[in-house]
Structure 1
Amino acid sequence: MDALMDSDPITVLMATCNGAAYLEQQLRSITIQSRRPTQLIISDDGSTDDTPDILARFINSAPFPVTTITGPQKGVAQNMLALQALAPQGYVAFADQDDVWMPDKLARSVEALSKIPANRPALYTARRIITDDSLNPQGITRSPRRGLGFANALVQNIAPANTIMLNPAALALAQSAAGELSTHTPPYHDWWLYQLVTGAGGKVFFDPRPALYYRQHKGNYLGAGKGISKRLQRLKALFDGTYRGWLMAQAHALECSSDRLTAEARDQLALFLQALNGTARIRQPVRVYRQSFPEQVLLRISLVTHRF
């Protein structure tokens, strides 16, 4: 195993769009990291508020190089893929515009990944402290109850982008696979990374300690999945076809890079797509699982009845 040296580059990638309300706090939390990044690359996806001005001021004061680019303005996933393509060889962390990082977030991420052989793709993720828009803690996201792997990744994402760091092998894998996507862009870039890394035989490290304050506000692209209303939303998505659409789109994006998956994962993906399309002779043997028991029951019902 190769130990991560202080000289190894760490790039932070941040997608912004009308994030002026909270952006400065997030940028400051990155500057005070105990292990500072080598550089920060920001893709702004057409902000019409004060975000560009905030970024311009930050570039002049940041203790590390900052590069800003204009995003493709085709949604969050496309913006993240554009950022990912620009990342130099090394370790890469993804940042949202409205969170606040724990001071040791980057240090803990690289410490965990340094324990994994350098030639094996690896992804770090962690719990998050859920807050209101003023950063008052409201709760904490759960740790996975079951193992992490491809069978889980096919139907659930446990690695939100704002927690993720990739080791160099995982970054190289993701950049190569992104070039094979053609018309099949995954709706959720972070979910695709979890699928890709596990499908290629990589390692996922889940940190049970929270790594950031996850701010909840009206402008969240995706909010924390807690409470009765969120459970009802997930239930609705399961039975109105929304969830099936996500699964199908993610699986087709993954299929573009099937040659990069292990033989077992390729077979599992093919069977899963057959189940989604209703062409599998026996749907029950599709070995996929979600982390909570109630959601697993609903998933099994949907697989048997073909109601996604």
Structure 2
Amino acid sequence: MSPVSDPPLVAILLCTYNGARFLAEQLDSLENQTHQNWVVIASDDGSTDQTLEILRQYQAKWPAGKLTIRSGPQKGFCQNFLLLACDPEIKANYYAFCDQDDVWLPEKLSAALKNIIFHQDSNVPYLYCGRTKYVTENLKPCGLSPLFVFLPSFRNALVQSIAGGNTMVFNMATKMLIEKIGAVDVPSHDWWVYQLVSGVDGDVFYDPVPSMLYRQHKGGLVGGNHSFSTNLKRVWMVLQGSFQKWTIQNISALKQVDYLLEKHNREILRMFDLLRDAELKDRFRLMQICGLYRQTRSGTFLLLLAALIKKI
């Protein structure tokens, strides 16, 4: 598909909650994007620090209409992001989720838009996402998110979220899909969007080239997964049933909208639901039939462990 002639408008969906410490750096990085045709819709979830003051300062500094501030639902980050994505009044050519404490590299939006515009069929949901550069609170490099090499798919999305929402940019067809469904009860907005787009056989592109700095700090809601201690924590989360709880939420939400899924993905969902309560021998057979997979060896180990102890 040939590029559009005018710079497309991007609606940046920013959710904030007591983010005053790092928010200004994030807003500065948005201001420094090489793609300049964007607006920010900031939904604050009841901050008690200087977050709203900082937002208002940038609202006054930037051109009129560049930054809109609204009140969030105060039901957690997932619902805050989903309510923004579901709002039919937010209209643009493309949409980007944005966390309050990251730093976007100048080419972030340009790289995403170049990819989407070149590959997309505008009638088909398209989701761009990718790797991140991990940095400390002071923006000192401390690694990269894992490099995933297997193709994104619904078989993967059922058991793994491959990219943070902070990397996601999507087209109008994806926005309309999210709007149609509404703000459902799921563990994470980014995982849910990956499941939806792959479930309807939309296009998901995972960019191996990072375009943002992902701060790792104690106040972060979701951190990186590159350390040994984090992997041990993930094993513990499987053992205590957190992964199982998330799966139950996702399956319940997907069942509500299974009429939207492609037929073969509805069947994968049905078998995945069955295997969770099946006998051990049938559990692994159904996993093989479903073709479920994660992107790394440690992830595959966790998936097999969850299936073995009936915590999937």
Aligned length: 304
- Alpha-carbon displacement from aligned partner over 1:21-69 (angstroms, at most 9, x marks no partner): 0000000100111102431100000000000110111001124621110
Stretches (4+) displaced over 3 A = 277-281
- Aligned positions of 1:21-40 closer than 5 A: 21-40=21-40
C-alpha separation in 2, matches of 1:38 and 1:162: 16
Contact 2:7/2:37 (<8 A) preserved: no
Amino acid corresponding to residue 255 of structure 1 in structure 2: K
CA distance 1:280–1:117, change in 2 (3 Å): farther
Q: Which segment drifts farther, 201-210 or 61-70?
A: 61-70
- SS of residue paired to 2:21: coil
- Output the aligned Cα RMSD: 1.7
1:69 corresponding residue in structure 2: 70
Structure 2 distance, partners of 1:279, 1:119, is 42
Q: Is residue 151 of structure 1 aligned with residue 181 of structure 2?
A: no
Provide Cα deviations, 1:5-26, integer angstroms capped at 9, x if missing partner: 4343210000000000000000
Q: Deviations over 1:159-214 (max 9, x none)?
A: 210000011111111111226x3xxx111010000000001101111111111000
Match of 2:257 in 1: 257
Q: What SS class does the counterpart of residue 21 from structure 1 fall into?
A: helix
Q: How does 1:1-308 map to 2 (within 5 A)?
A: 1=1, 3-63=3-63, 65-86=66-87, 87-115=90-118, 116-178=120-182, 181=184, 185-278=185-278, 282-284=282-284, 285-286=286-287, 287-308=291-312
Q: CA deviation at 1:229?
A: 1.1
**Deviation of 1:274 (Å):** 1.7
Contact kept in structure 1, 2:15 and 2:100, CA below 8 Å: yes
Q: Shift of the alpha carbon at 1:216?
A: 1.1
* 1:226-264 CA distance string (max 9 Å, x none): 212101110001111111111111121122211111001
CA distance in 1, matches of 2:282, 2:4: 46
Unaligned residue ranges in structure 1 (runs of 5+): none
Cα separation, 2, equivalents of 1:56 and 1:293: 46
Q: Counterparts of 2:264 and 2:310 in 1: how far apart (Å)? A: 24
How far has the Cα of 1:89 moved from its partner? 4.5
In structure 2, do the counterparts of structure 1 residues 303 and 202 end up closer, same or farther at CA, with 3 Å as the change threshold? Answer: same
Give the Å deviation of 1:281: 8.5
Q: In 1, distance between residues paired with 2:279 and 2:269?
A: 14
Whole-Å Cα distance in 2 between the matches of residues 259 and 280 of structure 1? 30
Identity %: 35
Range moving further from structure 2, 286-295 or 103-112 = 286-295
